[in-house]
Structure 1
Amino acid sequence: MPSSLQESSPPASATHRTDVVVIGAGLAGLTAARRLVAAGHSVVVLEARDRVGGRTLNHDLGDGQVVEAGGQFVGPTQNHVLALADELGIGTFPAYAEGASVYVHRGRATRYSGDIPPDLLALPDIGVTTARIARMSRQIPLHAPWEARHARRWDATTLDSWIRGTTLGRGGLDLLNSFLGSAYGATAADASLLFSLHYIAGMGAEGVPGTLDRGIGTKDGAQERRFTGGSQRLSSTMAEQLDGRVVLDSPVRAIEQDDRTVTVRTDSSAWTCRRAVVAVPPALAARIRFSPLLPPEQDALFARLAFGQLMKCEAVYDEPFWRAAGLSGQGVFRAGSTVCSMFDNSPPGGRPGVLMGFLGGRQWRAWAHRPAHERRGAVLRAFAQVVGPEALRPRNYFEQDWTAEEWTRGGPTAIAAPGVLTELGAWRDRPFGRIHWAGAEHADYWNGYMDGAVRSGKDTADTVIEQEG
């Protein structure tokens, strides 16, 4: 634990004053706090966990090596998180993608190159689906998707129903669900078409349209690089720079406000400030007691922006043996497998070797409740289908189930079911008096990603700075 962090809340009944209270010490909250401090404001960051980083979390492999148990990948057009890393002196390295990937369908493993598995029966559906998604996503106003010309029609159906109505087979849908298992922690049946189009439209930057190819890709895509020392290092470095302004083990229970001040209450302290920035996932923000109450529309929206379900399963080996066989360690599994996708997650030096698989959405629901040893065996057997029987004998194995994290409750992002965006979406970022919102779910570009969190933290801090003068 960095020495600059306070390890617990101040003594019971303590009351403190500061200019701004930031709630949540993930990427969005820490970015906002850092920007506010640079502008001359006094700030405290209240974090419910005993650590910083939110949905980023490093796992210690020993010998100074770490691997990510939470958000990890970064790629082109994710300019805000990359710029932050550069400011903090944190480098990146390429995610390992040399050699062949493997596509597993009905127990058969097929090697391939590129980002799209060579399923001849599915390729026509994939081509039709991606072309139509590209055309439709360009019609989405990123700042207000509910204002799109066909917004109500697109928000009245799920992505699953739309694909089924526009393709002949299930191949394209099954492969898209392999991606959504890790991207949504859910399936195409859980998200509205409008939300999905907005999500894909945001996989870019100003002047660079978002594309599904960029979202699913490794080279030139969202899975292109990782951060040296693990992604949680971004947050721990910012927290150290904030020099004692981050208070851990301080879940915020209530927020009260009047025309001039905001009072933020934890179990053992109260903080009075001029503005508050709530930088926790919307579903958790809705559980805070607000006085006066949140507008009912905003409360309803936050409660309905439910997280998907995601678990990361990682196996550690003495070395990445699959590389010698010409394999990248990447695998895509069509419906029916234990995992939806897998990657070589080894540290930059290549030792030890680490394979990581996502259990998201349908796979999580099938396996999360089963005994740990059964799940471990099933995951390792899936890995073995891709890289061979040596995968069955790791020296270590661990899991991170994000639904079991009290201060996350799912992952990797919040998704909107049909009707949510058109009926309530306009309330997503609207300040509530002196209370402002930040977080990956409050970003238009790279919504739900680390870059979206950093962008949102910066934008919200700038709004507070402007209003405070």
Structure 2
Amino acid sequence: MTRHLTRRRFLGGSLAAAGAVAGASLVGGGRSSAAPSGIVDVIVVGAGLSGLAAAKTLVAAGASVTVLEARERAGGRVHNIRSPKVGAVLDAGAEFVGPTQTHIGALAREYNVRTIRTYNAGDSIFVSRTGKQRVPAAAPIPAIADLGEAGAALARAQADALAGFPVGEPWKHPNAAYLDSLTWGEYTHQIAHTQTARDLVQIAMSAPISERPDEVSALFFLNYIAASGDEQNPGTLVRLLSTDGGAQERLFEGGAALIPLRMARHLDRHMVYNAPVRSIAYSDGIATVGSDAGVHRARKVIVAMSPAIAGQIEYRPGLPAARAGIHRGFHMGAVSKFAAIYRRPFWREKGLSGQAYGAGRPIDVTFESYADGRHILMGFISADAMRRLDHAPESRLVTECIGNFVDLFGPEAADYLDYGVFKWDLEPWSRGGPTGVAGPGVLTRYGPALREPVGPIHWAGTETADYWTGYMDGAVRAGQRAAREILADLR
């Protein structure tokens, strides 16, 4: 009977009726489109790219939707900030886009957000425990010939990620139990035997996910490699780590956050901000969602959050053991982004690309960026270095990062115009970044629960994507997939 009534309400057109959810506090200018009973078809928890992609898909199909966002803004881990002195727009979170990332690319075109190519001429700098060396920027890290055994070790990792790898379902890999019993550090020691080779293989992991080698399952990161493609193009380390032809090929003019901000503006009457969700209860075919902006009811719920923080919500009845295990087993990477703004790109004059990789102090990866006519050096602070600086005064973080740029690119780096910094570890609705990461044993024990609905609750977020998990494209893919699941049920 419940399914029959749901189908009639969905197909009968009444779902598009405008009105506030009963008992809801409409905050931030948003409104909700609800059925006369005050029960919408779908509540989306989280207005990051994944939640917005789900809401957009549902609204386009005629469903009534309410999006509950804990922050006062949309975008989640895609966020623009302004530097304090010159007011330059800086990407505080996700920034780059590259080949096979067609879902985020389609949204960028739809919302008129243009891309510019990441500067990739001259040499990059590789920093190891034995010092630093210049390497051609055009050559992806796996192709650096003069690092000897490192190339063979990276080729082995690539082969393991290609050999019939079940993308998005790594627990189905024939060697899943063994690979999931290893950390990436242990796996690295098996495939590389010199310190330089181990350093490079470990950087290949830490650069994209901001974690130490002993914090990440080898199976998890092999899936991360395999996911760096699409249904027609297998994932490769070259695509994952490269600039030209890779995931860092282009950046968004005006900042990547323009995409979710424009999506949210389009969905304005469905949006409720400053609405952290505290509880989700369901019975008799109806979910009741308790938030700081009131109580909302729906037939379905999409939780578009990282598994690492989705467990903060109270679920009634309680979640199955496997889903609870997913929440316990994922954790967020420790990361901050630091950007320094300069009058001119002095590193180019030295034949440098502005890119560096390796054992930085405290920055481990850098890129040249660009905003408002100004050239920028941007760096990631990750893992232990980030945890050390989490609660340090901002002045100390700035001093250390500028000192790091001086070590890498020369004394001109000390003459900066302005800077920007964003500590994702201290952001209460993300608790780190860039993505949720699984430690050893999690995927083989609990992996199938990553996307499996629980009652009326469906799961989105970039961590649940098949391809480009951890990236903006994966976030969009995951949101659209969760919306399709619900539409199939409602029809």
If the length of structure 2 is used for normalisation, what is the TM-score? 0.88
> Is the CA contact (8 Å cut-off) linking 2:153 and 2:201 kept in structure 1?
no
CA distance in 1, matches of 2:410, 2:142: 19
Q: In the alignment, residue 168 of structure 1 is paired with which amino acid? A: H
Aligned to 1:219: 244
Give 1:117 deviation, angstroms.
8.7
CA distance in 2, matches of 1:305, 1:426: 14
> Is the CA contact (8 Å cut-off) linking 1:8 and 1:250 kept in structure 2?
no
Q: 1:390 to 1:274 in 2, by over 3 A?
A: same
CA distance in 1, matches of 2:328, 2:71: 21
CA distance in 1, matches of 2:100, 2:312: 34
Farther-moved stretch of structure 1 (109-118 vs 169-178): 109-118
Q: What CA deviation, in whole Å up to 9, does each residue of 1:152-209 have, x standing for no partner?
A: 1111111111211222212122123334334222022211111111111101100211
> Is the CA contact (8 Å cut-off) linking 2:97 and 2:251 kept in structure 1?
yes
Work out which of the residue numbers 114, 121, 137 in structure 1 matches 2:161: 137
CA distance in 2, matches of 1:187, 1:276: 34
Q: In the alignment, residue 370 of structure 2 is paired with which amino acid? A: S
Work out which of the residue numbers 426, 438, 454 in structure 1 matches 2:448: 426
Aligned to 2:233: 208
> Is the CA contact (8 Å cut-off) linking 1:179 and 1:340 kept in structure 2?
no
Is residue 2:150 matched to residue 1:126?
yes
CA distance in 2, matches of 1:462, 1:119: 43
CA distance in 2, matches of 1:59, 1:336: 24
Give 1:374 deviation, angstroms.
2.8
Give 1:329 deviation, angstroms.
1.0
Aligned to 1:435: 457
Unaligned runs of 5+ residues in structure 1 are none
Farther-moved stretch of structure 1 (102-111 vs 354-363): 102-111
Q: 1:143 to 1:412 in 2, by over 3 A?
A: closer
Q: SS at the partner of 2:439?
A: coil
Aligned to 1:288: 313
Aligned pairs for 1:251-290 within 5 A: 251-290=276-315
Work out which of the residue numbers 101, 104, 107 in structure 2 matches 1:81: 104
Work out which of the residue numbers 87, 90, 94 in structure 2 matches 1:67: 90
Give 1:18 deviation, angstroms.
1.5
Identity among equivalent pairs (%): 39
Give 1:353 deviation, angstroms.
1.8
Work out which of the residue numbers 131, 140, 155 in structure 1 matches 2:180: 155
Aligned pairs for 1:359-438 within 5 A: 359-438=381-460
Q: 1:337 to 1:63 in 2, by over 3 A?
A: closer
> Is the CA contact (8 Å cut-off) linking 2:180 and 2:440 kept in structure 1?
yes
CA distance in 1, matches of 2:293, 2:385: 40
Give 1:120 deviation, angstroms.
7.3
Q: 1:108 to 1:153 in 2, by over 3 A?
A: closer
Q: 1:356 to 1:143 in 2, by over 3 A?
A: closer
Q: 1:63 to 1:466 in 2, by over 3 A?
A: farther
Q: Count residues with an aligned counterpart.
A: 457
Aligned to 1:112: 135
CA RMSD of aligned residues (A): 2.1
Q: 1:33 to 1:168 in 2, by over 3 A?
A: same
CA distance in 1, matches of 2:301, 2:483: 10
Aligned to 1:461: 483
Unaligned runs of 5+ residues in structure 2 are 1-25, 32-36
> Is the CA contact (8 Å cut-off) linking 1:178 and 1:341 kept in structure 2?
no
CA distance in 1, matches of 2:277, 2:408: 45
Is residue 2:129 matched to residue 1:101?
no
CA distance in 1, matches of 2:279, 2:30: 15
Q: SS at the partner of 2:96?
A: coil
Give 1:435 deviation, angstroms.
0.7
Give 1:147 deviation, angstroms.
1.4
Work out which of the residue numbers 183, 190, 198 in structure 1 matches 2:215: 190
Aligned pairs for 1:324-335 within 5 A: 324-333=349-358, 335=359
CA distance in 2, matches of 1:144, 1:167: 27
Work out which of the residue numbers 338, 342, 348 in structure 1 matches 2:366: 342
Give 1:109 deviation, angstroms.
4.1
CA distance in 2, matches of 1:165, 1:257: 48
Work out which of the residue numbers 159, 165, 171 in structure 1 matches 2:196: 171
